Structure 1
Amino acid sequence: MARNLVAGVDTSTQSTKVRVTDAATGTTVRFGQAKHPDGTTVAPAAWWQAFREAAEQAGGLADVAALAVGGQQHGMVLLDATGAVIRDAMLWNDTSSAPQAAALIEALGAAPAVGDEPQDVVARGKQRWVRAVGSSPVASYTLTKVAWVAEHEPEHARAIAAICLPHDWLSWRIAGHGPASEGGDARLDALFTDRSDASGTSYYDAASGRYRRDLLALALAPAFGERVEIAAMADPTQPIDTSAAPQATALAERLVLPTVLGPSQAAADTADPAIAGGEVDGGCLLGPGGGDNAMASLGLGMQVGDVSVSLGTSGVAAAIAENPVYDLTGAISGFADCTGHYLPLACTINGSRILDAGRHALGVDYDELAELAFAAEPGAGGITLVPYFDGERTPNRPDATASLTGLTLANTTRENLARAFVEGLLCSQRDCLELIRALGARVDRVLLIGGGAKSEAVRRLAPAILGMDVTRPATDEYVAIGAARQAAWVLSGAAEPPAWQLTIEGVETGEPTPEVYRAYAKARG
């Protein structure tokens, strides 16, 4: 059978999607999707069930020659020595570990300042984390969740034999591995990942390509009643002294962490032929996979200078940068991408749900919200919405709430309120763009994607608020496309990923309205 079909898998927060794809053209051949349970903690077995259902919907994977998995970032999957899941996975949107994130920052910041480091402990700690692993811990990241388990479920922490991420675990299962019978080999050593997803853990440094087991020991110390106090920290890129926590250090050293594969490197194992590739000579190759944002950028074919603005449940602005980008304030995550470059990324907790809040408040649908917004002037008659409905991550204000300012009897109209909601959403994404630009990353082209991009109001007003033309790719499953493109790259053995055609629905243009963003910046403080 000709080796011309590949599969891209997207195991996201909401569902698993399987896209069987023509490796030469990138054209969809078959597609399947199955939902995940709601919640911020999920049993990984639900992902496996959803994958099997989605693969069956897609007509099966027996004729697929290569497969890769893109997945929700930061989710913590803990395995014991038999390969069994110790507890439900804590997902990126589980914010229980906010206190642990703060404590980890303070732990690195506690050592005296060196050179021109800030005198403030928290600011100093954030800088050191950024220099160590590219990003400063927030509740989303895996290491903070490990620290939460160590503090609240020490018996679970002490049982950890391996830590992996959702895409790592699903790839491992597709390779035919899983919990071993008594006395059997769980093949934890077969776990693999890629640098994009590993870079979102807070214990992997993508610039040097190494895990920071000392930082894992720091997080695990409470499970043993131990404490690491850092007396000096001249160079955050070098391991800290964790000898005061011998049991946590020993555990961190023996933990199995997934092997980090290169961008187009095949895993050592092929897929279980009962799952994929059973009709293909040589079986189905498994690509390294990647984090969902990095996979989406690969699916979009993004190059250095491109920035994607993805409006879903959250809002994500991600740029492709040739070199590591270090934001010493901790606002920008210094992730890696799926091609060997870097992916500086800013994420807002509040995304397209801002529009939903506006619709509900005004009792209208999306089209009616757009009509009202277009009937108002730029600036909404002086009304500004700061849309931190669920707190916010960029800027880091977890306890914030939304606010409407500038209301008067004269300007409080349905039209102005609708405009304020759309402008508030776009201004929050402009914040992300400005942060990325301030770090020296090029912003030559903005690609607007995600469910929020379907809003006519967002599309038409985006250029005015973002200050530049906005390219609008066709609505598609870009994480699954990116995973399929990686699989085709692995299959080809070429130096570069295949050059699949990106369908552009249009380029939005408009007169910039900088005064709107200035009013927003003043209101949010």
Structure 2
Amino acid sequence: MSLNAVLGVDIGTSSSKGVLVGLDGTLLRSAVREHTVERPAPGHVEMDADVWWDEFVSLSRELTAPGDAAVVAVGLSGMGPCVLLTDADDTPLRPAVLYGVDTRSVAQIARLNEELGTEEIRRRCGCDLTSQAAGAKIAWIADEEPGLFARARRLYMPSSWLVRKLTGAYVLDHHSASQTTPLYDTNALQWYAPWAERIAPGIELPPLRWSGEAAGTVMAEAARRTGLPAGIPVITGTVDAWAEAVSVGAHQVGDLMLMYGTTMFLIHTVPGLLTDPALWSTVGALPGTRNLAGGMATSGAVTGWLRELFGDPDYAELLRLAEKSGPGANGLLMLPYFAGERTPVMDPRARGVLAGLSLSHTRGDLYRAALEATAYAVRHNIEALEAAGGDIRRVVAVGGGTQGGLWTRIVSDVTGRPQELRTTSIGASYGGALLAAQLVTDASIDAWNPVRHTVTPSPDATERYEELYDLYRALYPATARVTHALAARQER
């Protein structure tokens, strides 16, 4: 007799991940499909939506092929906020414009701030316009590709596009909508028609639901393509980082989730609406929750870049060398702003800096400096969260970067804060699977994914990092004029 199970799929920046999970939380199988983003111009980061659906189909078929488990529900998540515009027939008009790593909308942000008012945008939407704001990217398409925009009728993100392909439903979750600034009213929990009609004329914005609500059921044609049973429910889904938080139970007031991935994301659950121009204030993935969030433009992307430069050695070898280097990376200090920076710097023209190089430095020192740079940036974000009124009582880590132990240990040492690690750290796909399971059973995160280990900071290491953190904070203002000039040259 086959087990009942749920399928969870997440569409990420560098790969799509799928998991097949028993209704008791047991991970039965997992699979990955790697992909790359398109960078057609400086500051532009895009992806073809066909990749999302093709990889979902491939993952679904691989994970269900053995036939030993009956899939009873589907969970979805994806990177975001993204902007995929389609015509009236749901044909994509161009590749999707990705989230805050895409910095093309600087001029539109300035114009919308002037026209709508920075304070009024913050009051109504909960945060300022930044490179993360999907509404500003819609405005860019309208300005720069007016003929294409005139044909646009619908707005999708990765999870909602998969919902459409699977069920035929056109919906979006409240959290994703809250990142379409300035189209969504975070106080009223609905689209704000005056600004939506001004910025996205002609586009029928999707009806809104909560992430774990059923969007619909798998259609017969989608079942044929994917190998899934027709008629099973599919959740509405959400942005990957928020699904990651669900996967480790980090959605109680006071919780902070650290997502270790291609980029680093921080989600702090707060009791009510808090706003700060250096952070993002969003509606949570679950009803009744609010978040202050931060995100870096790069983290694992930098370590991956270094690995490629080094000739693709195993990550285990690089971690061994970085461990040998020791705290402070033998006098190296890095700014990890290789693709600009999001919170709390909010500078799309920031660039990476490696300070203190000498002929004696090794690959281990460089790799250690990259890990430490991310840790300093985490601390910078934590300080911004608390300055904005946050009250961080518990830190939970998740994502591929938690493997190996060194990166999480460095972050705890730099921040002086312990981090909980749960048994399963796969992340968003597992969180989507949990939400799907809750459609058909009373699954709970503590039963599915109990705490396995707590990373505790070393007082000696924390003390050593104090002076280095002060130097890190001084490095950006000391080099910004030069790096901005270089960024301008890169954009020519």
Q: Which residue of 2 aligns with 1:225?
A: none
Q: Deviations over 1:438-457 (max 9, x none)?
A: 22222222223333333544
Q: Which residue of 2 aligns with 1:18?
A: 18
Q: Which residue of 1 aligns with 2:218?
A: 271
Q: Which residue of 2 aligns with 1:520?
A: 472
User: Does structure 1 residue 104 correspond to structure 2 residue 112?
Assistant: yes
Q: Which residue of 2 aligns with 1:337?
A: 284
Decide whether aligned partners of structure 1 residues 490 and 324 sit closer, same or farther in structure 2, where only a CA change above 3 A counts: farther
TM-score (norm 1): 0.78
User: Does structure 1 residue 293 correspond to structure 2 residue 292?
Assistant: no
% same residue: 27
User: Does structure 1 residue 142 correspond to structure 2 residue 134?
Assistant: yes
- Pick from 195, 199, 204: which aligns with 1:215? 195
Decide whether aligned partners of structure 1 residues 4 and 338 sit closer, same or farther in structure 2, where only a CA change above 3 A counts: farther
Unpaired stretches in structure 1, ≥5 consecutive residues: 110-124, 178-189, 221-247
1:420 Cα deviation (Å)?
Answer: 3.8
Decide whether aligned partners of structure 1 residues 339 and 473 sit closer, same or farther in structure 2, where only a CA change above 3 A counts: same
Alpha-carbon distance in structure 2 between the residues aligned to 1:94 and 1:292: 17
Q: Which residue of 2 aligns with 1:67?
A: 74
Q: How do residues 278-427 of structure 1 correspond to structure 2 at under 5 angstroms? A: 283-302=231-250, 303-327=252-276, 329=277, 331-340=278-287, 341-356=289-304, 366=315, 369-370=318-319, 373-374=322-323, 378-379=327-328, 383-394=332-343, 395-405=345-355, 413-414=361-362, 419-427=368-376
Alpha-carbon distance in structure 1 between the residues aligned to 2:456 and 2:445: 28
Alpha-carbon distance in structure 2 between the residues aligned to 1:136 and 1:501: 35
1:399 Cα deviation (Å)?
Answer: 1.6
SS at match of 1:132: helix
User: Does structure 1 residue 46 correspond to structure 2 residue 51?
Assistant: yes
Decide whether aligned partners of structure 1 residues 456 and 429 sit closer, same or farther in structure 2, where only a CA change above 3 A counts: same
Decide whether aligned partners of structure 1 residues 404 and 68 sit closer, same or farther in structure 2, where only a CA change above 3 A counts: closer
Q: Which residue of 2 aligns with 1:151?
A: 143
TM-score (norm 2): 0.82
Kept in 2, the 8 Å contact 1:42–1:88? The answer is: yes
- Pick from 73, 82, 91: which aligns with 2:89? 82
1:479 Cα deviation (Å)?
Answer: 0.6
Kept in 2, the 8 Å contact 1:322–1:342? The answer is: yes
Kept in 1, the 8 Å contact 2:422–2:449? The answer is: no
1:260 Cα deviation (Å)?
Answer: 1.2
Alpha-carbon distance in structure 2 between the residues aligned to 1:150 and 1:195: 24
User: Does structure 1 residue 205 correspond to structure 2 residue 153?
Assistant: no
Decide whether aligned partners of structure 1 residues 293 and 437 sit closer, same or farther in structure 2, where only a CA change above 3 A counts: same
Q: Deviations over 1:175-228 (max 9, x none)?
A: 1x3xxxxxxxxxxxx3112112221111223332110232233334xxxxxxxx
Alpha-carbon distance in structure 1 between the residues aligned to 2:208 and 2:402: 34
Alpha-carbon distance in structure 2 between the residues aligned to 1:281 and 1:174: 11
Q: Which amino acid aligns with 2:52?
A: W
1:369 Cα deviation (Å)?
Answer: 5.0
SS at match of 2:214: coil
Q: Deviations over 1:88-127 (max 9, x none)?
A: 2222233322322232223223xxxxxxxxxxxxxxx1x3
Q: Which residue of 2 aligns with 1:234?
A: none
Q: Which residue of 2 aligns with 1:483?
A: 432
Decide whether aligned partners of structure 1 residues 419 and 477 sit closer, same or farther in structure 2, where only a CA change above 3 A counts: closer
Alpha-carbon distance in structure 1 between the residues aligned to 2:379 and 2:412: 10
Alpha-carbon distance in structure 2 between the residues aligned to 1:32 and 1:361: 27
Decide whether aligned partners of structure 1 residues 276 and 307 sit closer, same or farther in structure 2, where only a CA change above 3 A counts: farther
Q: Which residue of 2 aligns with 1:166?
A: 158
Alpha-carbon distance in structure 2 between the residues aligned to 1:35 and 1:362: 20
Alpha-carbon distance in structure 1 between the residues aligned to 2:446 and 2:236: 16
Count of residue correspondences: 457
SS at match of 1:191: coil
Q: Which amino acid aligns with 1:507?
A: V
SS at match of 1:65: strand
User: Does structure 1 residue 28 correspond to structure 2 residue 27?
Assistant: yes
Kept in 1, the 8 Å contact 2:3–2:22? The answer is: no
Q: Which residue of 2 aligns with 1:121?
A: none
Q: Which amino acid aligns with 1:326?
A: T
Decide whether aligned partners of structure 1 residues 174 and 467 sit closer, same or farther in structure 2, where only a CA change above 3 A counts: same
Alpha-carbon distance in structure 2 between the residues aligned to 1:407 and 1:312: 26
Q: Decide which structure has the larger Cα Rg and report it.
A: 1
- Of residues 211-220 and 294-303 in structure 1, the stretch that sits farther from structure 2 once superposed is 211-220
Decide whether aligned partners of structure 1 residues 478 and 358 sit closer, same or farther in structure 2, where only a CA change above 3 A counts: closer
1:299 Cα deviation (Å)?
Answer: 0.8
Q: Deviations over 1:455-487 (max 9, x none)?
A: 544233222201112233456321111111111
Kept in 2, the 8 Å contact 1:35–1:50? The answer is: no
- Pick from 419, 432, 457: which aligns with 1:470? 419
Kept in 1, the 8 Å contact 2:173–2:237? The answer is: yes
1:165 Cα deviation (Å)?
Answer: 1.6
Alpha-carbon distance in structure 1 between the residues aligned to 2:94 and 2:367: 44
Q: Which residue of 2 aligns with 1:131?
A: 123
Kept in 2, the 8 Å contact 1:461–1:510? The answer is: no
